[in-house]
Amino acid sequence: MSFAKQVGAVGLLASGATLGALLVLAVVSFSRKGSASDNNEDHPPPRASSTTYQNEKEQLVNHEHNYSHCKQCLQDAKHRRERLPPLIILVRHGESEGNADNTLYRTKPDNLVELTRKGLEEAQKAGKRVEGIFKKADSRRRPGCGKQEAAIKRVHLVVSPFERTRQTAAAMRPWFEHRIVRTDIQPRIREQEFGNLQGHDFQDFRNEQNKVGRFWYRFATGESGADVYDRVKSWWYDSVLNVNERYGYEPVDALVVVTHGLTMRFVLMQLFGWSPTTFHSVWNAGNCDTYVLRKDLTKPGMSPYVLDEQNGDMPRSSIDLQIEFVSQPGVRQVYKLQDYLRLPPPRTMQLDLVKEKLAEQYPEIDKDDIRRVVFMPFIDGAIVQKRTKTGRRLLKDPRYAAPADAGKAPGGIIENFAVAEESWQI
């Protein structure tokens, strides 16, 4: 046999041996795996490294820490709610020179407008009224007087920097001076900035505002209602909710806030989550009207306050509704719905209640005859042509005709102009 054939034969034998060895190893390995799966006690799985156990332990500790931290945050939030003052009283200034003569703003800056004699008397009566609210709260601390409430011993007086509000506060404070522990002049609750001076063109601005809306319209050299809302809300969160969290100051039992009618509406808007449509339905407070906010810890959130109807004034509200009747197809009439705020939120979805209220306020209306309701937050005078003696107004502008494909709601058809907004309208 040649040398080359001998080498080839040896190589073939070696390859066969190698292949056989690999087959033997595979069989042994498979048998070991099978036995390990059949009997885990004889062949337990490999243990995780110490590093893996350490990581799992750290994760567990972190979860426990986060849970403990969240629980502590909830406890802190609960205690902050409990430390809030039991009463917050909002007071509009007394009658001002500008209320008596609106042409005064042409020559006198808004921040310098003073009270009239009538306004001074209103402010003094408001001070007496506020002290009466405090005395009533004090009496509930006595045995046998029913529900216990915190006595009003320490009052924080907060005042807009405008002259008429400062004069109002000065006339009010003698009635409850013995309770006042702090007084702040707070620029963020000042009146809306209409412009440095209100010239002859100011009426043109007012006419534009009627088209755009009080909340949205921005005066040329002043603010929009939305601007005032933003600063009022920042004041509430920065100052009111932290009034009893300040280091070195004793907690107070009540805040008395002397401000402006529009500012008072924005306080309520941010507190109760009103939409701009609801805001437009609320009337301005009268001179020295008083809104009393009472703490109610059954309410959720960080501002658990409700309007106290027994001790304070209630904001008035109304909204114009375009009504179409089954008996008069194609004819749309406008009625003013009073006490719009009394409707539960979302208000624009309460069609059955709207029908009932309309029938109560207008005896000539049959609630079952109402086919369509359109909510109109504010109406330009050019759209509404006239009002009848019963309060009904006739629409002449075809721009506000209801679309043919209006969506149906239970009991009839309900619409509004701002559909996207009104889906969450309250």
Beta bridge partners of 150: none
- Cα–Cα distance for residue pair 358/162, rounded to 1 Å: 41
pLDDT in tens, 382-426: 333 333 444 444 444 444 444 444 333 334 444 443 332 332 232
**Most confident segment among 206-210, 365-369, 405-409:** 365-369
Percent of the chain whose pLDDT exceeds 90: 57
pLDDT in tens, 53-84: 677 767 776 766 676 668 788 888 999 999 99
Weakest-pLDDT range from 73-77, 130-134, 146-150 = 146-150
pLDDT in tens, 290-343: 999 999 999 999 999 999 999 999 999 999 999 999 999 888 888 999 999 999
Give the residue, 46 or 331, on which the prediction is more confident.
331
pLDDT in tens, 156-179: 999 999 999 999 999 999 999 999
Point out the catalytic residue in the list 93, 156, 260, 280: 93
Cβ atoms of 391 and 397 closer than 8 Å? no
pTM of the model: 0.74
415 is catalytic: no
63 is catalytic: no
- 4, two tokens: 């080359």
Q: Are strands 180-185 and 155-159 parallel, antiparallel or unpaired?
A: parallel
In the block, tokens 């008397």 appear at: 121
Residue 138 neighbours by CB distance under 10 Å: 17
Provide CB contacts within 8 A for 171, sequence distance 6+.
94, 115, 120, 123, 124, 126, 127
pLDDT in tens, 237-251: 999 999 999 999 999
Point out the catalytic residue in the list 95, 122, 131, 191: 191
User: Which residue pairs, CB below 8 angstroms and at least 24 apart, start in 289-292?
Assistant: 289/91, 289/92, 289/261, 289/264, 289/313, 290/89, 290/90, 290/91, 290/92, 290/126, 290/129, 290/130, 291/89, 291/90, 291/264, 291/267, 291/315, 292/87, 292/88, 292/89, 292/90, 292/133
